[in-house]
A = this chain, B = another copy of it.
Amino acid sequence: MTDRDWRCEDPEQQLVWASATSEALRVLEGKWKIVIIIQLFAAKSPLRFSELERRIEGVNQKMLIQQLRQLEKDGIVGRMVYPQVPPKVEYTLTEMGIALGPSVEALVDWAFMRREALGH
């Protein structure tokens, strides 16, 4: 679970780590996914569809839904439907989504450092 494994010399193991990781990264690919994830982390509570739409500048509905559906399928976010009119749907991070915390944190740090290095 630490770097003792993934930096090892065994080429077989490297392939295993590399393929698992690229497979996992593919779950995060998509123009709006990390934005959604970060918003859900920051909110610390479920967010409604329209709330996400409002918070994420530049998404349209189709894109937001598409990305949410993929995140849901991949087990990152959960969907809670309230049978009301007008409809109400809430999105949350699942356990697996919350487990992304360290990765997101490291990526945020790196992104920050990168911005600095490239000159604001």
Contact = CB atoms under 8 A, between A and B. Distances in A.
Contact of A110 (B24, B56, B111): B24
Interface residues of A, number: 55
A22 B30 CA distance: 9
Contacts of A35: 18-19, 22
Interface of A: 1-3, 5-9, 11, 14-15, 17-25, 28-29, 31-32, 34-35, 38-39, 41-42, 44, 55-57, 75, 96, 99-115, 117-118
28 contacts: A2-B109, A3-B105, A6-B38, A6-B105, A7-B41, A7-B42, A7-B44, A9-B42, A14-B39, A17-B108, A18-B34, A18-B56, A19-B35, A20-B112, A20-B114, A20-B115, A24-B111, A25-B29, A25-B34, A25-B107, A75-B118, A100-B110, A102-B106, A103-B103, A103-B109, A103-B110, A105-B106, A106-B106
